Amino acid sequence: MTAFGARYAAALAERGRLCAGIDPHASLLHDWGLDDDLAGLERFALTAVEGLAPHVPVVKPQSAFYERFGSRGVAVLERVIAESKAAGALVLLDIKRGDIGSTSQAYADAYLDPASPLGSDAVTVSPYLGFGSLTPFVATAEKHDAGLFVLALTSNKEGPEVQHATVEDGRSVGQVMLDHLRRLNDGESPLGSFGAVVGATIGGADGAGVAYDFGFNGPILAPGFGEQGGTPADLARIFGPANANVVASTSRGLLRKGPDVAALRDEARRLRDVLG
């Protein structure tokens, strides 16, 4: 299989730079006239796949919204992954896992091994037990030509407490994470397979006005586009030359166009065109 970084670059070139979150919030189920139960989850998730997966480069199901229904909800997630892949979209499973040793390896096997029913093209992971704690994920991603999106600079208000702290050489912790990714992606073409999660509303600098270097030769997931306030101008300002590697993520604002499949498709195409 082709490495994830190459598949990602090709998908963005073919389908634009929009990532569609498929997140079955209880409030969205109700907006669609569905009950917050397993039947509602299945109807919602598979309708979203039908409307979005053929038209965007990346779909991003948030695992928690399926897990809350137990094993039957996870079975729906398995179908979302399989049917999204069949529609030609890359599947970025939003799990934000972060652990050490054999536990981290078990997570990696569950979500990155194509033999697993939850096997995805890439996953989100947290490096805040130390970047080295991600070693099992990195090795498993390399083995299976999968990708990782590492939390680096998030836009939640609590994030700066950790991410803007500085290390001995003066770099912020967030920049340290980006620099680890640079080493993993060194020499890869057209892109490495190890990406970052950077909020589309972070402002491009930390509280002290220190700019970040996003030239780590890898994918960038920018949540917060659209309803949460992030704009194409923000993406250009924050990421500069690396903006071409950014896939901007939206979930609720896009999903509110359902349950009509054509309305979901048309909104995805509109947002894709807005991003350019």
CA-nearest of 239, 247, 244, 245 to 271 is 247
What is each CA distance from 273 to 142, 206, 266, in whole angstroms? 33, 30, 11
Catalytic annotation on 96? yes
- Phi, psi values for residue 172, rounded to 5°: -75, 160
**CA dihedral in degrees (134, 85, 219, 103; nearest 10)?**
-10
Which amino acid would we find at residue 271? L
Q: How far is 143 from 224, CA to CA, in rounded Å?
A: 31
- Catalytic one of 96, 143, 157, 257: 96
Is residue 5 within 8 Å of residue 193, measured between CB atoms?
yes
Look-up: residue for tokens 């590492």?
150
Supply the DSSP symbol for 126.
-
Which pair of structure tokens corresponds to residue 15?
């389908």
Q: How far is 43 from 259, CA to CA, in rounded Å?
A: 9
Which pair of structure tokens corresponds to residue 56?
């965007």
Give me the active site residues, please.
96
